[in-house]
Structure 1
Amino acid sequence: MGTSVSTRFSHSIDPKVLDQAAEWLMQLNASHVSDEDRRACARWQQASPEHARAWARAELLMNKLGGLPAELAMPVLDRPAQLDRAGRRKAVAKLAGLLAALPAAWLGWRLFDRQQWSADQRTAIGERREIRLADGTHVILNTASAMDVSYDAQRRLIRLRCGEIMIETATDTAAVRRPFYVETAEGRMEALGTRFSVRQEEGRTQLAVFESAVRIAPRKMPPSGFRIIQAGQKTGFSASAIEAEQISARDDEAWAHGMLLADRMRLAEFAAELGRYRSGVLHCDPAVADLLISGTFPLDDPERVLSMLVSTYPVSAVQRFSGYWVTLIPRA
């Protein structure tokens, strides 16, 4: 049986070695590469098993570069010799960060890229956007989100491809009232005159209701398996099951106001949430994963939030690859 990509590249590699691999990848794809450059790279690969593993990742990424966004592929492949020092360093940092995160970063990037750029409405990482639909419904798209809007004579429909949205439905102006639906990969929700948020996660949809109610109908459950979630409640569901309701809190809608509210939130969870609003990788060392965080933090400035963490809690933020990869560790 063959070895999967995730198995072959599951072991961590020293970030300094990945940085070197990224440098070599750029060098070998420069227009002025020489045979001596290639021999030097081969010697570097043979110098240690870790070098060889890093280069295996580089080759995997190289085989897939044709599908990378142009802003990364162009600096890396087309004219690296013409980049100034800062520009080259930035390109190497992004490339090294991708090597560090393979295969998850690659798969996530491709999935997000494919889902986002063909959508009717979308936001970039760290962006929030407010739109008003034809019937007056107000929608806020959170960071890295994409959705399609489909209105016809029978129904009003939003398909959430990825990310998170906040919806405040308007009274339908059509002669015959049309139901308002939101669809995700896991199923369909019907708004019962309401304000609510929907978040698409991997294999799971998260719903929080702030006004009125929402009816959930998972894709693989019978019609009788629907459930109505009332204002002040939240839940998650898969294609075949609905979780027990919980009480929603202010932090469930704080993102719509540009804030991250933490009330004794584990640092690991805090880092995962903050990481949605910044480019790159934000990692939490297991030694500080259970540190409890409280406070109100501005989502529009993730780097400021990291500074606030470091100044308030016994942690340090170690940056690699020009800040693309940040690890929260215990303060020395």
Structure 2
Amino acid sequence: MHTADPLTFGQSREQLDRAAIREAAQWLVRLNESAHDPQLVAELALWRVRSKQHELAWCRAQQVNDKFGLVPRQRVMSVLTERSELSRRRAIRSLVLLMTVFPTGVAGYQVLPWREWQADYRTRTGQQRALTLNDGSELTLNTDTALDVQFDRHQRLIRLHRGELLIDSGADPLQTPDSQRPLRVLTRHGGVRALGTRFVVRQQREYTLVQVFDGVVEIEPRSGGRRPQIQAGQQLRFGSRSAGLPQPVDPHGADWAAGLLVADRLPLGRFLAELGRYRPGLLRCDESIASLPVSGAFQLSNTDQVLASLPCSLPVKVVYRTRYWVSISVDPLRSPGGYQHAI
């Protein structure tokens, strides 16, 4: 006989008010932090009996947390209470997400990017964001980026789930001769250890690209092995198993932090692939014109303006099938030539 999953049984299918869902998530986090507070327990009881929506939302919050373990139990809550308020907000956000999409979210949990949705800091497509961490390190998140920051007594750790990050690393205020807290960036392929530096980390599907503009970084492929150091003026790609050889750094590799895409005879296909990172939807070109060279500096804040300028100097036409589906095709009435653009 089939036994129903508790996440798909009974009241869990009833539509819940968004406010009740969020309040239930907040109550669950608070209760797990202060389970022995009789006043808090009494206040929760009053909230639950105030409406049917409250009681249903509370039951769903418990079911979701039992299934996914989003909020630690009281016996390990000391870890959570030592962390920043970001940890609490992330736990609440995780509960709200799963409670909202639930029960379909249960089946899709393993294939949806939950870690990225729950990240401490995120940017949307086309958005950039600057942060200053409590050690003075300055971060600039590029388009479509998600990361977590975990600083404690033993480490300064940045987990890059997706996207690209520029780091100006600060001096550790807690460092002593007997206690070191290296600043590290983790990607799916391994780690990047900063040795007082300014560098870019860009995570892609098959590899992570590291570009160093000042100082030195050490690469730590996930499977171990050789751990090369990259000097200022060098860049390197590494995968989970090994690291490549250092190459001269792209001098414009961090220009995106100033809102610029700089191209030096970059093939049109690659140029559009880079530009497409800063706008939602599809941006493609015909193979016959993909090798046309593009040079110049382009403002990332207005990708439509960049596209509108292309036919002025290239033998192409821009076709908007929709706002989110743009094709660049050959204009047979014009002769090939590189596109020169200046701000």
Q: In 2, distance between residues paired with 1:156 and 1:219?
A: 18
Deviation readout 1:92-141 (Å, 9 max, x if unpaired): xxxxxxxxxxxxxxx9xx75x53432000000000000000011110000
Structure 2 letter corresponding to 1:264:
R
Match of 1:124 in 2: 124
Matches within 5 A, 1:190-229: 190-222=193-225, 225-229=226-230
Cross-structure match for 1:254: 255
The answer on whether the counterparts of 1:115 and 1:162 sit within 8 Å (CA) in structure 2 is: no
For residues 147-204 of structure 1, give each alpha carbon's deviation from its aligned partner in whole angstroms, at most 9, with x where no partner exists. 0001111110000000000000111111434111000000011001000000010021
State how far apart, in whole Å, the 1-side matches of 2:331 and 2:298 are.
21
Residue 88 of structure 1 corresponds to which residue in structure 2? none
SS in structure 1 opposite 2:252?
A: helix
| Residue 318 (structure 1) shift | 1.1
Q: How does 1:233-248 map to 2 (within 5 A)?
A: 233-248=234-249
Deviations along 1:200-238, one digit per CA (max 9) or x if unpaired, are 10021010000011000100133xx10000000011110
Cα shift readout 1:269-324 (whole Å, capped 9, x = no counterpart): 0011000000110012101011110000011111011112222211111111x221
Q: Please state whether the residue corresponding to 1:305 is helix, strand or coil.
A: helix
Determine the structure 2 residue equivalent to 1:187.
190
> Radius of gyration: which is bigger?
2
* Separation (CA, whole Å) in 1 of partners of 2:184 and 2:255: 23
Partner residue, 2:309: 308
Do the aligned residues in 2 keep the contact of 1:125 with 1:279 (CA within 8 Å)? yes
Q: Higher helix proportion, which one?
A: 1
Structure 2: runs of 5+ lacking an equivalent: 1-96, 102-107, 333-343
The residue that corresponds to 1:136 in the other structure is 136
1:250 positional shift? 2.5
Q: How far apart are the structure 2 equivalents of 1:114 and 1:304?
A: 34
Q: TM-score, normalised by structure 2?
A: 0.62
Q: Say what the alpha-carbon RMSD is for the aligned residues.
A: 1.8
Q: Aligned to 1:252, what secondary structure does the other structure show?
A: coil
1:165 and 2:165 matched: yes
Identical pairs, percent: 41
1:285–1:329 CA contact under 8 A, matched in 2: yes
Who is 2:77 aligned against? Answer: none
Q: 1:253 deviation in Å?
A: 0.8
Letter of the 1:240 partner, please give it: R
Q: Indicate if the aligned counterparts of 1:185 and 1:203 stay in contact, CA closer than 8 A.
A: no
The question of whether the paired residues in 2 share the 8 Å contact of 1:126 and 1:278 is answered with yes
Q: Do the aligned partners of 1:199 and 1:206 also contact (CA within 8 Å) in 2?
A: yes
Structure 1: distance between partners of 2:115 and 2:320: 30
Deviating 4+ runs (over 6 angstroms) = none
SS of 1:147's partner is: strand
Q: Given the alignment of the two structures, is residue 277 of structure 1 paired with residue 274 of structure 2, yes or no?
A: no
C-alpha separation between the residues in 2 aligned to 1:304 and 1:250?
Answer: 25
Q: Which has the higher contact order (CA 8 A, sep 6+)?
A: 1
**1:242 corresponds to which letter in structure 2?**
A
Structure 2 CA distance for aligned equivalents of residues 202 and 307 of structure 1: 30
Q: Secondary structure at the match of 2:184?
A: strand
Name the CA distance, whole Å, in 1 between partners of 2:250 and 2:288: 28
Q: Distance in 1 between matches of 2:185 and 2:274?
A: 23
CA distance in 2, matches of 1:203, 1:190: 20
Q: 1:208 to 1:175 in 2, by over 3 A?
A: closer
- Residue 57 of structure 1 is matched in structure 2 by none
Letter in 2 for 1:235: L
- The two structures have a TM-score, normalised by structure 1, of 0.64
2:85 is aligned to: none
The separation in 1 between residues aligned to 2:116 and 2:283, in whole angstroms, is 22
| Cα distance between partner residues in 1 of 2:114 and 2:304 | 28
Aligned equivalent of 2:174: 174
